[in-house]
Structure 1
Amino acid sequence: MRSRRFTSLEICSGVGAQALGLERAGFDPVMLIDNEDNACRTVRLNRPRWDVRCEDVVDFDPEDHPQTYDVDLLSGGLPRIKSAAAGRSGNNTERTVLRAAVLLMTAVRPRALMLENLPDLVAKDAFAEDRSWIEEELAHAGYRSYWAVLNAVDFGVPQNRRSSFLVAFADRGGVDFCWPRPVDCPPPTVGQALGASMASRGWTGAEQWAEHADRPAPALVGGSGNHGGPDLGPTGTKRAWAALGVEGKSLSNNPPDADFPFDGRPRISLRQAATIQAIPDEWVVHGLKTPAYRQIGHALPPPLAEAVGSSIAAALAG
């Protein structure tokens, strides 16, 4: 870790993976906010010293929490904004949270801002109105904004997972900010990431399976809290998992045992899904299978959060 530490306020903190990556980059949260009880319990289990508030960020009033003012960084992995095809018009929940995040920034006045979302927010014209509103609000508040789409696979994560990032700095004489560069080594494959755990209960086909699972995974899909159970996503995503030798219709409780067919197609467990997200083994996820998987599937992989956070920390340090 860096010798110099910074303060942060994390909203929509989820399973805590982004906060974990930012902690590695030098940021200590004064508070974390999420409206899901299981997610709040997860973060408290893993970081008892962190102040976790289980409430909706839309209703959060910083005047009641003066320690959140003037933090170095306001960060958050926001709910995924709906595409135009899904009903872009209207005051949907995702846009309400996005706007609440920007308005919260103008209230607490952090030195820097980091928000993560779907790549479409940066890459597609359908979201030009959202980007313009955000940039205008930031500029009016005296912040300079930077946009980028980054892929977790370029930062040592065994998964092709693209995310959009908005980073902004208070324009107080300017900062020297550069987006992080990809790591200089090939990403782990699914077989490399999960081979040992697939063999841990005596499955004789684990070594052959790991050799076949020779690419990074497709992006895990956390799904909606309104429907469905823990599976690996829509039909196209399940096909991509099948090409890697993984059955994506559901999750297993444990890795395959000695009775599993040598050439069978195993399901992955919750712990293995967390490994695909580069969430460390010691990070405990609270809840039954479905809510636990949603926390994992929605997470920003810690190595990517650390990479962006390190670039922000370097800019803040001057």
Structure 2
Amino acid sequence: MEICAGAGGQAFGLHAAGFDAVCIYEQNKNAVATLKANRALGPVRQGDIANVDFTAYRGKIDLVAGGVPCQPHSSMGLQKGHADERDLFMYGSSADCRRDRAKSFFFENVEGFGFRANSNYRAELNRKFKKLGYDTQVFSFFGSRSDYGLAQNRPRVAFVGFRDVPISRFRMPPKFPEWRTTVGEALIDLVAANGWDGAEDWARNKANIGGSEQFGRLAFSANLRKQAWIELGIDPLGIAKSAPSADHPKGSCSNSR
């Protein structure tokens, strides 16, 4: 079972790894529409997991997975932890695992989750899981072009736990540097779709950027990197409605994705 599934990136990975989803939960309506368009992933439900009764899944779950909201632990935020109204770690993991007695869990989050500022929060979370019979560990990794072929810089953590199996038996997957790619290489066909002459030059910038949903609007990159991308001729704010037109100036900013 997956919670806070987003548009299904993790769901695809779990499906490819051999997991069959009993149910996939997500609150964002656009993400839900994307998930439902890929029904092979499993049944999809829209809603706030804080209001979901999971008792029907008791005894049926091998793995609870999800990408619970990162803002309570992000270095770009206030790092309020469980004081943040968006924090779902305590509810979205402890409560769910307690109710369905899942054999294991895997929750992905920002690297800030592992920062010293969040040490008390992690200790509390580990205490709760230990009481429930889970052996846990936090693993750091880069979901990036250098490790797993994603055209972005994305340092993350994986919070993993097993019930009745020691965590020492778990190994993070190997890295695949040969999959290295860039945003330009990944999106050149889309950016050039309307015949823009500057597409090749844009691709050679080798932009390495990610996205997030903040306060209901989409942002192409964190504010700390905004100026860097503007200097590269890329407008990092918002999402364009279409690819650049054929006569789009080569040297101007483009926010087409």
State the TM bucket, normalised to the shorter chain: 0.7 to 0.9
3-state SS in 2 of match to 1:30 = coil
TM-score normalised per structure 2: 0.87
Rounded to whole Å, the distance in 1 between the matches of 2:210 and 2:168 is 33
Pair 180,244 (structure 1): closer, same or farther in 2 beyond 3 Å? farther
Match of 2:233 in 1: 245
Tell whether 2:67 aligns with 1:77.
Answer: yes
Residues 186 and 21 (structure 1 numbering): CA distance in 2 closer, same or farther, change over 3 Å? closer
Is residue 99 of structure 2 the alignment partner of residue 107 of structure 1?
Answer: yes
Q: What one-letter code is carried by the residue in structure 2 that aligns with 1:137?
A: K
Aligned to 1:30: 22
Counterpart of 2:187 in structure 1 is: 194
Question: Is this contact kept in 2: 1:69–1:108, CA < 8 A?
Answer: yes
Specify whether residues 127 and 70 from structure 1 end up closer, same or farther in structure 2 by C-alpha distance, changes over 3 A only.
Answer: same
CA contact (8 A) 2:61 2:100 kept: yes
Task: Give how far 1:36 is off.
Answer: 2.8
1:98 matched residue in structure 2: 89
Deviation of the 1:131 alpha carbon: 0.8
Cα separation, 1, equivalents of 2:6 and 2:206: 30
Runs ≥4 residues deviating over 3 A: 172-175
CA offset digits 1:176-201 (Å, max 9, x no partner): 21112221326212221122222221
SS in 2 for 1:185: helix
Question: Counterpart in 2 of 1:17?
Answer: 9
> In the alignment, which residue of structure 2 is the partner of 1:262?
250
SS at match of 2:153: coil
Aligned residue in 1 for 2:162: 169
Structure 1 residues 169 and 87: alpha-carbon distance in aligned structure 2, compared to 1, 3 A threshold: closer
Normalised by the size of structure 1, how large is the TM-score?
0.72
Q: Which runs of structure 2 are paired with 1:185-224 in the superposition (5 Å)?
A: 185=178, 187-211=180-204, 213-215=205-207, 217-224=208-215
Distance 1:22 1:136 in 2: 27
Question: Which range moved further: 167-176 or 197-206?
Answer: 167-176
Count of residue pairs the alignment pairs up: 252
Give aligned-pair identity as a percent. Answer: 27
Query: How far apart, CA to CA, are the structure 2 residues paired with 1:51 and 1:235?
Result: 36
Q: What are the within-5 Å matches in structure 2 for residues 258-297 of structure 1?
A: 258-269=246-257
Amino acid at match of 2:80: R
Task: Give the aligned CA root-mean-square deviation in angstroms.
Answer: 2.4
Q: Which runs of 5+ in 2 are unaligned?
A: none
In structure 2, C-alpha distance between the alignment counterparts of 1:70 and 1:48, rounded to whole Å: 19
